Amino acid sequence: MNIPDKFGAVVRIGMRDSEFGYFRCDIYSLVSLSTFPMEVLNHKTVFITGASSGIGAACAEAFAAKKARLLLCARRIKKLVSLAERLKNKYNVEVHVFKLDVSESGAVQSFMHQLPDEWKIIHILVNNAGKALGLGPSFEASLDEIEGMLDTNVKGVLYINRQVIPGMIARNHGHIITIGSVAGKWVYPGATVYCASKHAVRAINEGLKMDVHGTHVRVSSVDPGLVETEFSKVRFAGDDDRAAAIYAGITPLSAGDVADAVIYCATRPAHVNINEISLMCVDQSAATMVNRKE
Ligand SMILES: NC(=O)c1ccc[n+]([C@@H]2O[C@H](COP(=O)([O-])OP(=O)(O)OC[C@H]3O[C@@H](n4cnc5c(N)ncnc54)[C@H](OP(=O)(O)O)[C@@H]3O)[C@@H](O)[C@H]2O)c1
């Protein structure tokens, strides 16, 4: 539905469903109060890590809706292929998917060389791949859990950055948007290693903004609280009941809510750098302060 807003410009309001099982109301305002033009995403190449589920998949859909070209990676290639088919059909956009474990330095080092030439210029990088493994005292965490979190959440971001950012610097254009967490600001019980990894991600982003100083490359961090995705299922090693209990009695953020914040960062006028967006659902007021209905 198109309706004029109070500025006389057109605001589109619509309901649409998505594969994530929720309905939402989108308001795309064509009005900007900035005197500078908003960044346009059509035909920009957006590289999203960890796009096979949750926030990464929702970001892929949000950028596809803006007619961007999508470069998507994760380890579960089948999920990426089916997401790509759906987005191509629905939005008529180009999508290229490939299997990549961001924690494998060798694989990350070679992926840029293996990309077809038309996918080598990346305008926007969404560093999203990440995970929490287990919930308990850090000295009882297994080595697999410790290494899994640090290798993916911290080293993975650094490995990807060093492949993608030099091209952005050479072109003097680009945007790195990293999905941090409120766990990058607060520590909560049982999540010492995960919080340490997201504190590191926060430091990496703050430092990165200084690393690219003097260029037109932008650096943003989007830091959510509780988001209902496969995150808790992964944390509890596939235990659906434990995962469901995390979101019981609250209305958590959806993956799409986070994707909206990512799109906000990406569409600001070129001279504007959104440093960080922190968002939580209304039912959450601190990392473990959650208002659950009986
Ligand atoms: N959900 C929350 O409450 C929440 C809150 C704050 C921040 N976050 C952050 O949001 C990001 C996305 O999480 P999510 O909630 O969307 O969880 P999710 O549904 O479990 O998605 C995680 C994504 O990361 C990918 N991934 C994991 N390890 C990978 C690796 N080694 N290499 C490449 N891809 C990998 C997964 O794909 P494959 O398994 O196919 O590789 C999947 O696509 C993470 O950085 C997480 O820390 C989540």
Torsion sign (Cα): 176, 182, 188, 190: negative
Residue 6 lies in a domain: no
Distance (Å, whole) CA 206 – CA 115: 29
Tens digits of residue pLDDT in 98-144: 999 999 999 999 999 999 999 999 999 999 999 999 999 999 999 99
The DSSP output letter for 285 is E
Closest by Cα among 97, 69, 65 to 84: 97
Distance (Å, whole) CA 235 – CA 247: 14
List phi, psi (to 5°) of 30: -90, 0
- pLDDT band with cut points at 50, 70 and 90 for residue 284: very high
Phi-psi region of 141 (alpha: psi -120 to 50; beta: other; left: phi over 0): beta
Residue 148 lies in a domain: yes
Catalytic residues: 194
CATH of the domain at 145: 3.40.50.720
Ligand 1 atom nearest the C-alpha of 79 is 40
Tens digits of residue pLDDT in 136-157: 999 999 999 999 999 999 999 9
List phi, psi (to 5°) of 185: -115, -40
Per-residue pLDDT at 1 = 40
- For the CA atoms of 28, 34, 37, 43, the dihedral, rounded to the nearest 10 degrees, stands at -40
Does any ligand 1 atom lie closer than 6 A to the CB of residue 103?
yes
Q: Write out the residue range of the structural domain in which residue 246 sits.
A: 32-290
Cα-to-centroid distance, 256 and ligand 1 (Å) = 14
Q: Is the pLDDT of residue 24 over 60?
A: no
Cα 30 to Cα 4, 92, 231, 270: the distances in Å are 10, 22, 34, 17
- pLDDT band with cut points at 50, 70 and 90 for residue 16: very low
Does any ligand 1 atom lie closer than 6 A to the CB of residue 181?
yes
Structural contact between residues 56 and 74, judged by C-beta atoms closer than 8 angstroms: yes
Of 17 and 278, the structure prediction assigns the larger pLDDT to: 278
- pLDDT band with cut points at 50, 70 and 90 for residue 32: confident
Cα-to-centroid distance, 59 and ligand 1 (Å) = 12
Per-residue pLDDT at 33 = 85
Distance (Å, whole) CA 98 – CA 101: 10
Cα-to-centroid distance, 131 and ligand 1 (Å) = 5
Residue 1 lies in a domain: no
Ligand 1 atom nearest the C-alpha of 77 is 40
Per-residue pLDDT at 31 = 61
* DSSP bridge partners of 46: 70, 124
* Ligand 1 mutation target, pool 47, 48, 55, most atoms within 8 A of CB: 55
What's the average model confidence in pLDDT over 264-269?
98
- Give the max Cα distance, the chain: 60
Q: Is the pLDDT of residue 172 over 90?
A: yes
Q: Is the pLDDT of residue 11 over 90?
A: no
Structural contact between residues 45 and 121, judged by C-beta atoms closer than 8 angstroms: yes
Domain count, the chain: 1
